[in-house]
């Protein structure tokens, strides 16, 4: 008889026009790491929101048993009192507050005269040591990287005497080194008796840490797979997730690269927008042919996003210098609007903050980059045309929604990403820069995005792909540039590039990088 710490029985959740959860059952054994996998929109996050009380009792059907007792959580505080703590994909930290202040926000250490700051910071330091974070508890969140912020969230969970830790895509914004460290920490917590649920699209990570894996599809439980011997069958899981065989993770493409250059950059320099003496991009030169997908690899902080945003109408940085060419002509793009008008688009890595308006509809988000295309001669938006455009992209991009009037904030992460891509596809760019385009989305949605990239280059357009997933770069790109500390340190063709060579170039590079002149020499 299994010792279950959690049993969720016949959980059903309805939204207008959508059955998000359809009679879902989940059993989690005490002391195990249990993985929850499925396509975007499969119901994983919704199920965890039911468990945590984010979706309160009364707004769903079914039963939750925790430690053998039925629970009816009406708010997240109710579940946390029992030791159920969820860490969402978007970290809930306030940048201007310290680590210690963030850890006990809403759970303050009170003394006779208000907050006991000595107790706050001593307790914070204790929990930071438990997660191996050496930064002082007084350090501001804005002054530490994403990997450390994830550790702060885990330390925050430990401060709540966690019994069941739920992590929703915990490594989606981390590099490989930080991801491995976090997963090893979960294994260490397991040895100490903690139970964890991890939601992840990275099947290699699931195989590494999970004892059992539950697959969801279209809001229903497909199966739970035992992984004690760590011989996970990825094909079986993918078939369960998408309902079909996915024999090739990357769609086939004829590599017809033109001699013509779509985007060229020479000696590009960017300084930090606040600390203006600091260079974040150091004399970078590169080019992308028409019909070519070029990848940019590098560790977190290498300068790839800073490079991309500064090229897109100087939307990041200060003291920007260098030369930028589109379709052979030098351009001076001073704003994002300039960039769009010249046929350059940038798909941000941060879709919720910089890419989409979550409180607006799919239709509005789809057309917002080129509103002129759905306006009449008087500059008034033709709502019928706007809806027609959005419906077209919902169909082409396979966006799961009952209507184009659905608020984007109500969509799953993968479907939000498809809306973001629709927005820039409608803008009809000649050069598309994609910054982590498949972060936090499932294998089926990834495949669809890869197909869109292939369609674009088949039309003679140029695509730049920034990604932290080396297999993705190797599977999709014609050439790969490697960045480190703001400089280009290597360039590799599709045939010569390997994960080992890319990592070797990063680890053995110096700050000088490579220039076009050096490559030609």
Domain boundary among 221, 242, 263: 242
Joined together, the tokens standing for residue 28 give: 């989690």
DSSP 74: S
Same domain for 463 and 315: yes
Q: What are the residues facing 289 on neighbouring strands?
A: 261
What pTM does this model have? 0.65
Q: Considering its fold, how many domains does the chain have in total?
A: 3
Q: What is the pLDDT of residue 521?
A: 35
Same domain for 49 and 21: yes
Average pLDDT over residues 442-468: 89
Same domain for 309 and 202: no
**311 vs 517, more confident:** 311
Same domain for 113 and 8: yes
Joined together, the tokens standing for residue 478 give: 């014609």
Domain boundary among 428, 448, 477: 428
Cα(482)–Cα(501) distance, integer angstroms? 10
Q: What is the pLDDT of residue 246?
A: 59
CA distances from 9 to 22, 65, 81, 269 (A): 11, 8, 22, 57
Average pLDDT over residues 18-44: 89
Same domain for 382 and 471: no
Radius of gyration in angstroms for the set of CA atoms belonging to the chain, rounded to a whole number: 24
**244 vs 368, more confident:** 368
Domain that holds residue 407: 351-428
Domain boundary among 428, 444, 462: 428
Joined together, the tokens standing for residue 3 give: 């010792």
State yes or no: pLDDT of 176 exceeds 50. yes
Same domain for 359 and 327: no
Calculate helix-pair angle for 234-242, 443-458, nearest 10 degrees: 80
Joined together, the tokens standing for residue 135 give: 């930064």
219-263 pLDDT, tens digit per residue, is 899 999 998 877 777 788 878 887 766 567 788 888 789 999 999
Same domain for 209 and 232: yes
- Indicate which CATH number applies to the domain containing 326: 3.40.50.300
Cα angle 383, 385, 389 (rounded to 5 degrees) comes to: 115
Same domain for 338 and 357: no
Cα(112)–Cα(143) distance, integer angstroms? 32
What is the phi-psi region of residue 429: left when phi exceeds 0, alpha when psi lies from -120 to 50, beta otherwise? beta
Same domain for 255 and 148: no
């Amino acid at each position: 008889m299994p010792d279950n710490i959690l049993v969720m029985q016949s959980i059903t959740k309805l939204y207008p026009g959508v059955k998000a959860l359809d009679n879902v059952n989940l059993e989690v054994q005490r002391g195990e790491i249990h993985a929850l996998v499925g396509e975007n929109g499969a119901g994983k996050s919704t199920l965890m929101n039911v468990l945590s009380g984010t979706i309160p009792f009364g707004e769903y059907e079914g039963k939750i048993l925790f430690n053998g007792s039925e629970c009816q959580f009406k708010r997240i505080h109710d579940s946390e009192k029992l030791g159920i703590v969820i860490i969402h994909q978007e970290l809930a930290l306030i940048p201007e507050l310290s680590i210690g202040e963030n850890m006990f926000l809403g759970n303050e250490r009170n003394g006779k005269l208000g907050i006991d700051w000595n107790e706050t910071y001593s307790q914070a330091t204790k929990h930071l040591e438990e997660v191996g974070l050496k930064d002082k508890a007084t350090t501001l969140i804005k002054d530490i990287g994403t990997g450390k912020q994830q550790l702060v969230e885990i330390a925050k969970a430990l401060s709540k005497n966690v019994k069941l830790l739920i992590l929703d895509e915990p490594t989606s914004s981390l590099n490989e080194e930080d991801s491995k460290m976090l997963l090893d920490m979960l294994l260490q917590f397991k040895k100490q008796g903690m139970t964890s649920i991890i939601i992840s699209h990275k099947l290699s990570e699931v195989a590494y840490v999970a004892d059992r894996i539950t697959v969801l599809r279209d809001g229903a439980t497909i199966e739970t797979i035992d992984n004690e011997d760590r011989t996970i069958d990825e094909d079986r899981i993918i078939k369960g997730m998408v309902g079909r065989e996915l024999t090739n993770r990357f769609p086939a493409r004829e590599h017809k690269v033109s001699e013509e250059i779509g985007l060229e950059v020479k000696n590009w320099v960017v300084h930090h927008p606040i600390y203006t003496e600091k260079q974040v991009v150091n004399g970078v030169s590169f080019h992308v042919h028409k019909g070519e997908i070029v990848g940019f690899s590098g560790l977190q902080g290498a300068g790839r996003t800073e490079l991309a945003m500064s090229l897109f109408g100087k939307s990041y940085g200060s003291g920007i210098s260098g030369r930028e060419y589109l379709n052979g002509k030098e351009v001076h793009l001073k704003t994002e609007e300039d960039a769009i008008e010249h046929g350059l688009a940038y798909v941000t890595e941060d879709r919720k903050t910089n890419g989409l308006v979550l409180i607006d509809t799919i239709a509005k988000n789809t057309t917002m980059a080129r509103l002129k295309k759905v306006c009449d001669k008087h500059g008034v938006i033709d709502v019928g045309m706007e809806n027609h455009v959005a419906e077209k992209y919902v169909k082409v991009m396979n966006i799961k929604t009952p209507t184009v009037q659905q608020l984007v904030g109500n969509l799953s992460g993968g479907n939000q990403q498809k809306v973001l891509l629709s927005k820039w596809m409608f803008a009809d760019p000649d050069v598309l820069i994609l910054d982590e385009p498949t972060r936090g989305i499932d294998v089926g949605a990834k495949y669809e995005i890869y197909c869109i990239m292939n369609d674009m280059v088949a039309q003679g357009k140029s695509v730049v792909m920034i990604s932290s997933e080396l297999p993705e770069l190797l599977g999709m790109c014609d050439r790969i540039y490697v960045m480190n500390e703001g400089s280009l340190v290597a360039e590799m063709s599709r045939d010569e590039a390997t994960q080992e060579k890319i990592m070797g170039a990063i680890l053995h590079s110096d700050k000088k990088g490579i220039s076009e002149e050096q490559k030609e020499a």
